[in-house]
Amino acid sequence: MEQHLLRLTVNDQDYELYINPKALLVEVIRDHLGLTGTKRGCESVSCGACTVMIEGMAVKSCSVLAMQADGMRVTTVEGLEKDGRLDPIQKAFLDQGAYQCGFCTSGMLMSSRAFLDETSNPTMHEIREGIEGNLCRCTGYNSIVRALDSVAKGKYREEGQ
Ligand code: FES
Ligand code: FES
């Protein structure tokens, strides 16, 4: 199969690679770039484990061809931490114990970050709606919702995060 040139900026690093034009973004992220924090779950756009951000918007990376992201800026869970400092949402997940097996966590973090970037002062109901595309079999969601709420209320801003 003819390979196509893909240019991507992932976690502030530029990449140029030749790929099968039918490759999904999740495949390129994991198999070509080795960024395995992004999980492959259902592969049918249901679970959210593969969520990344494209140009700041949460996208299920099993739902798009990698070529659809050509020339764009992609952020994976590996890109949340900056200069050795966790993103506030990562800190909040740790503080609230918002994970158990962890399989959903990277996708949940990316959806949460995108949601909080777009929504100021969300209600608990809005938070639940904001992450409804991400499934978690373990936590019952309450600790995850508390984590988002604590970030939305500025807890980590006060700590200089
Ligand atoms: S692996 Fe993409 S939504 Fe489940
Ligand atoms: S922590 Fe196990 S699926 Fe969410």
Please name each of the domains of the chain with its CATH number. Answer: 4-79 (3.10.20.30), 88-158 (1.10.150.120)
What is the reported pLDDT for 161? 47
The whole-chain average pLDDT of the chain stands at 96
What ligand has the least distance to the C-alpha of 29? 1
Ligand closest to 111 (CA) is 1
Ligand 1 center–CA 132 separation, angstroms? 13
Q: Which residues line ligand 2 (CB under 6 A)?
A: 99-105, 136-139
For 42-69, write each residue's pLDDT tens digit.
999 999 999 999 999 999 999 999 999 9
User: Measured from the CA of 108, which atom of ligand 2 is nearest?
Assistant: 4
Whether the model clears a pTM of 0.85, i.e. scores above it, the answer is yes
- pLDDT (mean) for 9-32: 98
Mean pLDDT computed over 72-100: 97
pLDDT digits (tens, 9 = 90+) for 102-153: 999 999 999 999 999 999 999 999 999 999 999 999 999 999 999 999 999 9
Residues with CB under 6 A from ligand 1: 40-43, 45-50, 60, 62
% of the chain with per-residue pLDDT over 90:
95
Q: Is the pLDDT reported for residue 159 higher than 70?
A: no
Tell me how far apart the alpha carbons of residues 142 and 99 are, in angstroms, rounded to a whole number.
Answer: 11
Contacts 24+ apart (CB under 8 A), 112-117: 112/144, 112/147, 112/148, 112/151, 113/53, 113/58, 113/80, 113/87, 113/89, 114/53, 114/56, 114/57, 114/58, 115/58, 115/148, 116/89, 116/148, 116/151, 116/152, 117/56
